Amino acid sequence: MREHATLLVILIKLLDWSLILSGGTLSFYLLEASKNFPVYQGFMPNSYLNALGIAFLFSAWWFPAFNVYKSWRGESLFEEARTLLLSWGGSMTALLVFMVFTKTTTEFSRHWLGLWFGLVFVGLVLSRICLRLVLRYLRKKGLNQRHIILVGSSVLTAQVAARVQVSDWMGLEISGFFSDENSSIDELNKLGDLSQLVDYVEQHNIDQVWLTLSLKDMDKIEAICRQLHSVSVEVLLIPDISSLHLLNHSVSQIDGMPVINMSVSPMKGANAIVKWLEDKLLSIFILLLISPLMLIIAFAVKLSSSGPVFYRQERISWNGKRFQMLKFRSMPTDSDKDIVWGQAKNKHPTRVGQFLRKTSLDELPQFINVLKGDMSIVGPRPERTVFVEQFKHEINSYMQKHLVQAGITGWAQVNGWRGDTCLQTRVKYDLYYVEHWSLWFDLKIIFMTLFKGFNHGETR
């Protein structure tokens, strides 16, 4: 089956295109009895047929762009379903934009579009589940296997072998390992030293050689790769980088050159689009919802003490960008002369301000910052410029939290790390968010914020 991988991809593409076209057609006929569709002759109204064709063309472009048809061996179904959702959602969004520009949105039923989107997405996910079940069955029967040998004898080598051995559904079979060191790995055969590697690959049906060596052994890695050039085998490098503090590490290419991304922002490509849409749509919805409350708070702040309604303070966000963060003023106008981090108990808010700070209602104007693009709804809390300059020299990896946009709420806040709490621990939670960001993680944090609040200790 491995030799027919290209044919399998073609069949999957044909299945996807069939699902898209048949999903739109089925949705039309399911709703025809209850909807006032245009009068038509033949199969469907011409406008609906055009929409099917345009969606097909967009999906034929978007799906490969999102790597839908790459090899998903060893990767989670959730990740594949997320990719399908983004690619199919992008295709439908492009179709809607096309309808807006051609002023034809009124010609189509919203229920038809929604049902079409839902049916196709369910069909796409079900087709991947069925494919995975079939491939898993075949691999457990010994078919569609990839035969692998490891080079190295480190802790990483043992970890790689253990993970592969407990995941037989991936169809990976490790024959053993090669190493010049006098060492052993549980339940893994040592096949010889490095001088015997090429001969073994030539004499056996080996598909891949995995190098599990330290980056300090670059000379050895280069020598092994030169030796393996004489045999037909795929060579993969799994570098031992456990001693390095990495953030969103991955492998990419720059003009054809392989690059190991050791600390990069997750907000690139499709992720940046998803995050932008999340912030803009939610901030508009929330601002419309809370505008009466904000008006009441503004009057209360103005009546409680002299001074402006809003308090502006310079903070640091994504890539060190400075911006003016908005809050409802909760302190007297002359209370911010001394710049001291923390010390919440020593600050004296107004009576209205004390209530606003306790309930976090003073944070509501920051949704304006989100709409302007200064902040995100979810992300590490921004800090004042003077403290950023101080903490970046005192706290390890502090500046890496600025690889994403600062947020109104975040993973540290919903877990209670805000206000006069341990800053090192707070940064660890912020870096965990940067490393594991996803749309679903953002929604989880928003959900937790609604029910748990910010869990802060007054001043922040």
Whether the per-residue pLDDT at 170 is higher than 80: the answer is: no
Strand order in the sheet with 310-316: 322-328, 310-316, 383-384
pLDDT of residue 457: 43
d(CA 173, CA 204): 13
Mean pLDDT on 53-59: 91
Q: Which of 166, 191, 189, 168 is nearest to 178 (CA)?
A: 191
Output 290 or 136, whichever has higher pLDDT.
290
pLDDT of residue 459: 38
d(CA 431, CA 435): 6
Structure-token pair, residue 303: 């009546």
Mean pLDDT on 349-363: 86
Q: Which of 382, 442, 443 is nearest to 408 (CA)?
A: 382
Domains and CATH numbers, the chain: 2-140 (no CATH), 146-243 (3.40.50.720), 270-452 (no CATH)
Output 336 or 72, whichever has higher pLDDT.
72
Output 54 or 134, whichever has higher pLDDT.
54
Model pTM score: 0.54
- Name the band, by pLDDT with cuts 50, 70 and 90, for residue 460: very low
Whether the per-residue pLDDT at 95 is higher than 70: the answer is: yes
Q: Which of 69, 64, 93 is nearest to 80 (CA)?
A: 69
Burial (CB count within 10 angstroms: exposed 0-12, middle 13-18, buried 19+), residue 192: middle
pLDDT of residue 456: 45
Q: Name every residue whose Cβ is closer than 8 Å to that of residue 22 and which is 6 or more positions away in sequence.
A: none
d(CA 63, CA 127): 15
Least confident range from 331-335, 370-374, 424-428, 456-460: namely 456-460
pLDDT of residue 291: 92
Whether the per-residue pLDDT at 240 is higher than 90: the answer is: no
Structure-token pair, residue 56: 């097909």
**Radius of gyration of the CA atoms of the chain, in A:** 28
Q: For residue 282, what are the β-bridge partners?
A: none
Whether the per-residue pLDDT at 360 is higher than 90: the answer is: no
pLDDT of residue 425: 87
d(CA 311, CA 459): 14
d(CA 135, CA 124): 17
- Name the band, by pLDDT with cuts 50, 70 and 90, for residue 343: low
DSSP H or E segment with residue 190: strand 190-192
Output 388 or 128, whichever has higher pLDDT.
128
pLDDT of residue 21: 93
Mean pLDDT on 272-281: 90
- Name the band, by pLDDT with cuts 50, 70 and 90, for residue 281: very high
d(CA 173, CA 366): 53
- Name the band, by pLDDT with cuts 50, 70 and 90, for residue 346: low
Mean pLDDT on 133-158: 78
Whether the per-residue pLDDT at 249 is higher than 80: the answer is: no
d(CA 54, CA 198): 52
- Name the band, by pLDDT with cuts 50, 70 and 90, for residue 345: low
> Which DSSP state fits 39?
P
Q: Which of 451, 455, 406 is nearest to 430 (CA)?
A: 406
pLDDT of residue 15: 93
Q: Name every residue whose Cβ is closer than 8 Å to that of residue 313 and which is 6 or more positions away in sequence.
A: 324, 325, 327, 336, 384
Tens of pLDDT, residues 177-212: 998 888 888 778 888 888 889 889 888 888 889 898
> Backbone phi, then psi, for 335, in 5-degree steps?
-90, -5
Structure-token pair, residue 244: 């390095």
Output 314 or 398, whichever has higher pLDDT.
314
Whether the per-residue pLDDT at 453 is higher than 80: the answer is: no
d(CA 278, CA 287): 14
Least confident range from 41-45, 153-157, 334-338, 402-406: namely 334-338
- Name the band, by pLDDT with cuts 50, 70 and 90, for residue 400: confident
Whether the per-residue pLDDT at 20 is higher than 90: the answer is: yes
Output 104 or 123, whichever has higher pLDDT.
123
d(CA 344, CA 30): 61
> Backbone phi, then psi, for 29, in 5-degree steps?
-70, -30
- Name the band, by pLDDT with cuts 50, 70 and 90, for residue 324: very high
d(CA 150, CA 188): 10
Q: Where are the beta strands (DSSP E) in 262-404?
A: 310-316, 322-328, 376-378, 383-384
Written in H, E and C, the secondary structure of 371-393 is HHCCCEEECCCCEEHHHHHHHHH
Least confident range from 121-125, 256-260, 289-293: namely 256-260
- Name the band, by pLDDT with cuts 50, 70 and 90, for residue 40: confident
Pairing of the two strands 250-254 and 257-261: antiparallel
Tens of pLDDT, residues 108-118: 888 999 999 99
Residue identified by tokens 């739109």 is 24
- Name the band, by pLDDT with cuts 50, 70 and 90, for residue 242: low
Q: Which of 247, 277, 249 is nearest to 376 (CA)?
A: 277
Q: For residue 237, what are the β-bridge partners?
A: 211
